[in-house]
Structures are given as structure tokens and as C-alpha cells.
A and B are shown apart, each in its own frame.
Chain A
Amino acid sequence: MPSPLMIGRLVVTNMTDAAFLFAVASSLRRMMIGFTGVVIIGIGTGLLLGRFRFLDDVLGTLAIALHAMPGAAWVPLAIVLFGLNESAVIFTVLLGAAGIVMVNTSSGVKEVPPLVLRAAKTMGARGATLFWHVIVPAAIPRIVDGLRLAWAFGWRALMAGELMVGSIQGMGRLLNDVAKQRQMPQLLAFMVIIATISVAIDTLIFKRVEKMVKSKWGTA
């Protein structure tokens, strides 16, 4: 086993290596595209499911099934649909992470505190106005929860996709390459970096937003 010190040194070397940083950037770019899709499709579908009972009856189970599927399980389908390319990876991220956002958004919409609804109704809020001015903002803590989980799920799906697609530039391919060459220290250094990036983004962005929302909405 390589020593932690050695891995630490490798991590630092990698972080100053242009080729490595380029690979990280390609992976992050894919993640961003996929996650943008997750935000739009996940929240959009979730709002529809929460708003319209009949849609929820038909598609609600599907959203839960989507959410139950491990991200990696989408990769073969993605490869069949798109080939061994970037689109397949983005598709994997999208499907691996959209489910949790749908489920959280729709339950956030359905579980708005009755008191909030009553107050809104006595002040004349109805229909679409009630939905956009009261129900959606009231659901924000749940939506943010969903997005934070989706980030973690998406990151796993991204790695699964990149590892299996293999041919495209990115962290997954780097992992594959060093594994084939049996370079244990470098492999571990990459893994440390992958975990660190995920934790850093979670802590710097998602945790902060979640904390802010929770204290403001009083759901903490």
C-alpha cells in the first residue's frame, strides 16, 4: 500500500498538471450540463406531478421507479441509445439524478402546511396565483433537499458513465488508464480528488443554500 503522504504528494502534483485539470474540467462540464437538465426536468415534472392529481396518479409511480434505479444501471441503455460518447454520459447523469428531484418537488408541493394554505386563501389567493405565489415558494426547502441529493447521485452516475464509456476525455478515463497500468498510488490519488471535488461542491454550495433556506423557512 502506498503511504498517505505519497498519495498526498501525488494529489498536489496532479492538481498542477494541465492535462489532468483538463480532464477534470471535461468531467465537470458534463456534470453541469447534466445537472442543468436535472434542475429543469426534475423541478418541472415535479411541479406538474404535485399540481395535477391525475398526472401524479399516472406518472407518480414512474418518478419513484426512476428515483429507485441506481444511476449506473442507466449506462448500458445510454450507450445503446447514443453510442460511446459524451451524450451517453450526460443522459446517465440526467436519469440518475432527476428522479429524486421530481419526487421531492412533488411531495413538497403536496405537503404545504395547511395553515399556510388557509392564510393564503383568506387573502384571496386561488388557482394558478396560489400555486406560484404560495405553494411553490413553500415547497422550496424540499426542492433544495432534492437538488442536494441529486448532486450526489449525479456525481456517482457521471463516474459510472465515464468509466463504462471509457473513450472520452475525463476523470473516468483517467481512472481506467491508471488501473490498467496497475498504478495504485496514482489511482488512489485520483479517487481522493474525485471524492474531494464532490464534497467541496456539496459543502460550498448545497449545504450553504440548504442551511440558509432551512433557517429562513423555519424548517430546521
Chain B
Amino acid sequence: MVVLERVTKQFSHNGNKTDVVSDIDLTIAEGEFVCLVGPSGCGKSTLIYLIAGLEKPSAGRILIDGTPITGPGRDRVVVFQESALFPWLTVQQNVEFGLKMAGAPKAEQTKKAGHYLRMVHLSRFSGAYPYQLSGGMKQRVAIARALAMDPKILLMDEPFAALDAQTRHLLHEELIEIWRETKKTILFVTHNVREATVLADRVFTMTARPGRLKKGYAIHLQRPRRESDPHLVVVQQRILLGLQEEIAKVVKDEGLDYLVKKTGPVAVGADGSGGAR
């Protein structure tokens, strides 16, 4: 179980302190799949880094199964937006990396890496280097690399944002499959509302600057889900309506509000991105 208690993160810029995320209370149950959606710059990634232990909260605390975290730990692994694979290692060696760092015997490294590469259907590419893979394949390797460490919690920071719709769709199915099989707790950050509703048990929206949790939506629909499922579309519309306000804020902050005046309210695409982009 992951518990965030009044978590705030400030960054100071030339002496000016700004809250990036503010006052976040969130509890994620064991084995739950939670998505965070919000406009760009709302601190979604910061939240991931805080839970990963890569950043320290300015206030509040984060508990994993009741124990406050003090830094990065093998129980929480991040899958980043770009694959962040190590280019000098083969696919197999990349997946073995975490195990190697943990001092696992070579035979175990090989076995586990092989297992998780099969899970993401990339066994054939175990000897390839990252530069020889497509974007989707890289992300699958990154997922295998994270799973190989057998973390309790998988933190995913817009992992599929750079992929084309087709590949993303396939990876959604694959991720759900993996999640069912491994029963990991997943916190998945995205700006894509449709993606969030297809994947998550609960979707949380965030406000823009400072990032606060705005609202939670439970989705009790059976998986695999289709993006165009009428029930999901209703939820998507509700989420988007809530987000529109936040996106308008960003638009104003970024001096793009003249576009809004000229063209009326900003049209929000179903992927959560503002029309002004």
C-alpha cells in the first residue's frame, strides 16, 4: 500500500519558492492500478519522482506499507517517458541490470531476464542493442527491466506518450495482461484521458500549478476495455470537463489566452491536450 500524507514539493527559482505539487493525500491499495491525469506542468512527474525517492518532499511524508521512504528503493521502479535504457548494454543485459546491482547470481539474472523478456514478447531481441529497437519495443524492454527487479510498485511516467496510437493500444493490452499476471501496484501518469480510463481502477485529475489532486473517478468496468465503450466515454467526458478549467489556467499562464478570446472557449481534445497547443 502506498500512502501520501499532505505531500508538498517546492522548487526555488532565484529565491522564489513555488509549490510544484501541493498537499497531496492519496492512498493506493495493494495491486491497484491508479492513473493520474493533468495538464502539462501540473507536477505529475514530480509526484512519481517523489514516490520513487528521487526527490524529497518539502513537507508531508510517503509511506510504503507503513514505512516512510528515505530514498530510491528496489520496491519501487520507474518506467520513464523515454525508455532510459542503457545504450551500451544489450536488451538482455539491460533487463539484468537491476538484478546485477542487487548482487543476484548470474544464473538467476539470466533466468529472470529471460522470463520477463518472454512476458513482453521480446525474447528474440535479447541480443539486440537499444538503438536497433523501435520506440514501442524500447518501452517494452523498459517494462521488462522494471519487472525483473520484482518491485511491489511500478511507477510509470507517461511511458507511452511518445508512441503512435497503434503501438500504444497494443501496449495497453500488454500492460493489463502483465498487471493481471504479476499483481503489481501501478501508478501511471499520463495526460491522455482515454488512456487513463482504459487502464485504471481509479483515475485522479490534477490541478495546474500548484498540482493538487482535484477529483477521483472509480472505473468499475471489466477489462480489456475499449476506448470507445459508451460507459468509458461518459467518464472521459466528465474528466475532460473537469480538466478544461485547469487547461484554461495553463493557457492563461502561458500568455495564450488571446487565442481563447479570439476563438471562444478552448476546445479540449479527448487526449486531454488543450486545443491551443
A contacts, CB < 8 Å to B: 115-116, 118-125, 129, 133-134, 137-138, 140, 215-218
A134 to B82, CA, bound (A): 17
A218 to B145, CA, bound (A): 20
B86 engages A116 (CB within 8 Å): yes
A115 to B49, CA, bound (A): 11
A160 to B80, CA, bound (A): 51
Chain A proximity mask over B71-87: 1 for CB below 8 Å, otherwise 0? 01010111010101111
B33 contacts chain A at the CB level, 8 A cutoff: no
Distance (Å) between the CB of B263 and the closest chain A CB?
A: 36
Residues of A contacting B: mostly: helix
Instruction: Give 11 pairs: A residue, B residue, CB < 8 Å, sorted on A.
Output: A115-B82, A119-B78, A119-B85, A121-B54, A122-B52, A122-B72, A124-B149, A125-B101, A133-B100, A216-B87, A218-B87
Within 8 Å CB of B258, what residues of A?
none
Within 8 Å CB of B145, what residues of A?
123
A129 to B97, CA, bound (A): 11
| Contacts known (A121-B54, A122-B52, A125-B101); A217 close to B76, Cβ less than 8 A | no
Chain A proximity mask over B137-172: 1 for CB below 8 Å, otherwise 0? 000000001000100000000000000000000000
Within 8 Å CB of B54, what residues of A?
118, 121-122
Within 8 Å CB of A125, what residues of B?
97, 101
Most buried by A among B53, B100, B145: B100
A217 to B88, CA, bound (A): 7
Within 8 Å CB of A123, what residues of B?
74, 77, 97-98, 101, 145, 149
Excluding A118-B54, A218-B87, A218-B131, 10 further A-B contacts by CB distance (< 8 Å) are A118-B78, A119-B80, A119-B85, A119-B86, A123-B98, A123-B149, A124-B74, A125-B97, A125-B101, A217-B131
Distance (Å) between the CB of B4 and the closest chain A CB?
A: 18
A139 to B142, CA, bound (A): 21
Within 8 Å CB of B102, what residues of A?
124
Residue of B nearest to A119 (CB): B84
| Contacts known (A129-B101, A215-B131, A218-B131); A122 close to B78, Cβ less than 8 A | yes
| Contacts known (A123-B77, A124-B74); A216 close to B97, Cβ less than 8 A | no
Q: When A and B form their complex, which 10 residue pairs have the shortest distance between CB atoms, in order from nearest?
A: A123-B98, A119-B84, A124-B101, A137-B88, A217-B87, A115-B84, A121-B72, A122-B78, A122-B72, A125-B101
A217 to B100, CA, bound (A): 21
A124 engages B131 (CB within 8 Å): no
8 Å CB interface, B59-99 against A:
72, 74, 76-78, 80, 82, 84-88, 97-98
Partner of B88, one of A119, A121, A129, A216: A216
Partner of A122, one of B76, B82, B100: B76
A115 engages B80 (CB within 8 Å): yes
Within 8 Å CB of B217, what residues of A?
none
Distance (Å) between the CB of A59 and the closest chain B CB?
A: 28
Within 8 Å CB of B98, what residues of A?
123-124
Distance (Å) between the CB of A121 and the closest chain B CB?
A: 5
Residue of B nearest to A134 (CB): B86
Distance (Å) between the CB of A19 and the closest chain B CB?
A: 46
A217 to B131, CA, bound (A): 7
Distance (Å) between the CB of A10 and the closest chain B CB?
A: 46
A116 to B74, CA, bound (A): 17
B179 contacts chain A at the CB level, 8 A cutoff: no
Distance (Å) between the CB of B142 and the closest chain A CB?
A: 8
Residue of A nearest to B71 (CB): A121
B88 engages A140 (CB within 8 Å): yes
A134 to B84, CA, bound (A): 12
A118 engages B131 (CB within 8 Å): no
Distance (Å) between the CB of B127 and the closest chain A CB?
A: 14
